[in-house]
């Protein structure tokens, strides 16, 4: 062990010199490419050089370190170990460089296709495919690099050969394919090819309106209108229904319903509707229709249909139409706004009673209770005779009423109570 460690120390100075020299050479290469790019500027080449700067700074020193081993006299075992370590690092750096190169190619392709334009269907389709396939290629490169690095060890290589020789590899692949991660990766490949969704698509998912912000191999990020993010597994878009408002084109129809009274002037409202659309920058001039779609008990429903270049401007146009149309009706035709009608109609019972009373008054008949009528009439007479008659009438109805009438008669006034006694004595 000590002898092997001494062999490593013998190679250490040469490796350090190769490392320093490699860093210097990489620095010169990067400066030279910058100088060339400055003389002939190109945005795509600039982005590619920026992405490949890191792998270049690592690759050149490792190559010089590997070459320096030919000039170092060390034992075979030490040289094999050092070469093995440098080879593993080279595999990692090469994989890193290939992944950055794929990203540079992606930048070069997407440089000419921006999704900021009004008609961006082709750009969104291409960006979706390029981004998804770039992720797939990077994953494949990483898996191959890991496999190469592991198989560089003899023990791992023997174990791998034994597995490949057996039928167990089939069960391993089947088990991996049944996992959710593997299914999401397969769904990502399917979405990249068939493209049910693309970047910047307007979708409605589970009642949420938003735009597709990111598509990865395993999930999709949807930016909701209130700036929330809805993260869904990518397999959701293969097995569940959803709305895509920009699958073929971005233009869309907006619909507004207003309920008005039956006295509303439909031609005047239609003229005002067309005037509002003509003055709005969110209307594309394609579709403008107003129709009476429903007739209710007390109101009729007007439907306004208008077209817009995209869903965001359609929403703004709908809100603008509602505001301006309500203002127009309030100022010009306030009586057509929805209201509840009520009509006062006399009942048949009240009419029949009134007619009967009128006939009774014309004929001089009294249809009321005779005893109650006599009681009411006699109570109004102020004379003692009337009081006695009223008390007799009350006694005929109720003894209690007779006592009440007698008491009221006796205590009515001193003059009335003294007059009968005086006449009796006379």
Residue 116 pLDDT level (bands cut at 50, 70, 90) = low
Residue 173 pLDDT level (bands cut at 50, 70, 90) = low
Contact 193, 136 (CB under 8 A): no
pLDDT in tens, 82-108: 888 899 999 999 999 999 989 888 888
| pLDDT (average), residues 46-51 | 83
Asked if pLDDT for residue 81 goes beyond 50, the answer is: yes
Question: Phi/psi of residue 201, each to 5°?
Answer: -70, 145
Contact 405, 390 (CB under 8 A): yes
- Say what the alpha-carbon torsion angle 126, 127, 132, 138 is, to the nearest 10 degrees: 110
- Say what the alpha-carbon torsion angle 93, 94, 99, 104 is, to the nearest 10 degrees: 100
Strands 229-233, 219-224: pairing kind: antiparallel
pLDDT in tens, 314-368: 999 999 999 999 999 999 999 998 877 666 777 655 554 454 454 544 444 444 4
| pLDDT (average), residues 231-242 | 89
- R_g over Cα of the chain: 50
Quote the mean pLDDT of the chain. 77
Report the Cα–Cα distance between both ends of the chain, in Å, rounded: 166
Residues 6+ apart with CB under 8 A from 210: 202, 203, 222, 223, 224, 225, 230
Contact 302, 336 (CB under 8 A): no
Asked if pLDDT for residue 185 goes beyond 80, the answer is: no
363 vs 199: CA distance, rounded Å = 95
Contact 130, 106 (CB under 8 A): yes
Which pLDDT score is estimated for 45?
79
The better pLDDT of the pair 183, 396 is held by 183
146 by DSSP, 3-state: which? helix
Distance of CA 411 to the CA centre of its chain: 89
DSSP-assigned letters across all residues of 78-103: HHHHHHHHHHHHHHHHHHHHHHHHHH
pLDDT in tens, 357-407: 545 444 444 444 544 444 444 444 444 444 444 445 444 444 544 454 454
Burial class of 267 by CB neighbour count within 10 A (0 to 12, 13 to 18, 19+) = exposed
pLDDT in tens, 128-145: 888 888 888 998 899 899
Asked if pLDDT for residue 14 goes beyond 80, the answer is: yes
The better pLDDT of the pair 18, 45 is held by 18
398 vs 360: CA distance, rounded Å = 29
188 vs 182: CA distance, rounded Å = 10
Q: How many CA atoms lie within 13 A of 89 on its CB side?
A: 16
Neighbours of 377 (CB within 10 A): 13
291 by DSSP, 3-state: which? strand
């Amino acid at each position: 062990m000590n002898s092997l460690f001494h062999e490593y120390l013998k190679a250490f100075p040469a490796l350090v010199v190769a490392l320093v020299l490699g860093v210097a050479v990489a620095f010169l290469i990067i400066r030279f490419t910058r100088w060339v790019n400055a003389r002939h500027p190109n945005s795509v080449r600039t982005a590619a050089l920026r992405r490949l700067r890191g792998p270049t700074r690592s690759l050149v020193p490792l190559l010089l370190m590997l070459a320096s081993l030919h000039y170092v006299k060390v034992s075979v075992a030490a040289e094999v170990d050092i070469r093995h370590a440098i080879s593993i690092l080279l595999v990692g750096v090469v994989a890193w460089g290939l992944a950055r190169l794929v990203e540079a190619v992606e930048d070069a392709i997407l440089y000419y296709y921006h999704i900021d334009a009004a008609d961006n269907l082709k750009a969104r389709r291409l960006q979706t495919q390029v981004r998804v396939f770039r992720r797939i290629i990077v994953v494949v490169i990483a898996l191959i690099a890991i496999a190469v690095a592991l198989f560089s060890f003899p023990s791992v290589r023997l174990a791998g050969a034994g597995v490949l020789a057996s039928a167990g590899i089939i069960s391993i692949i089947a088990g991996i394919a049944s996992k959710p991660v593997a299914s999401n990766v397969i769904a990502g490949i399917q979405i990249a090819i068939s493209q049910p969704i693309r970047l910047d698509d307007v979708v409605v998912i589970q009642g949420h309106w938003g735009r597709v912000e990111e598509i990865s191999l395993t999930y999709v990020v949807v930016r909701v209108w209130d700036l929330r993010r809805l993260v869904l597994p990518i397999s959701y878009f293969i097995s569940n229904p959803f709305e895509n408002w920009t699958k073929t084109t971005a233009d869309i129809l907006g619909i507004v319903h207003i309920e008005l009274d039956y006295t509303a002037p439909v031609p005047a409202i239609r003229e005002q509707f067309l005037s509002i659309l003509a003055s709005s920058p969110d209307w594309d001039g394609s579709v403008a229709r107003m129709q009476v779609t429903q007739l209710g008990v007390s109101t009729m429903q007007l439907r306004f249909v208008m077209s817009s270049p995209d869903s965001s401007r359609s929403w703004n146009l709908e809100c603008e139409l509602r505001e301006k149309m309500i203002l127009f009706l309030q100022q010009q035709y306030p009586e057509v706004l929805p209201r509840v009608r009520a009509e006062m109609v006399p009942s048949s019972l009240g009419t029949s009673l009134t007619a009967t009373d009128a006939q009774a008054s014309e004929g001089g008949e009294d249809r009321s209770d005779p005893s109650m009528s006599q009681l009411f009439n006699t109570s109004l007479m102020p004379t003692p005779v009337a009081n006695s008659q009223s008390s007799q009438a009350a006694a005929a109805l109720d003894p209690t009423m007779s006592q009440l009438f007698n008491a009221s008669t006796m205590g009515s006034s001193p003059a009335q109570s003294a007059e009968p006694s005086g006449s009796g004595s006379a």
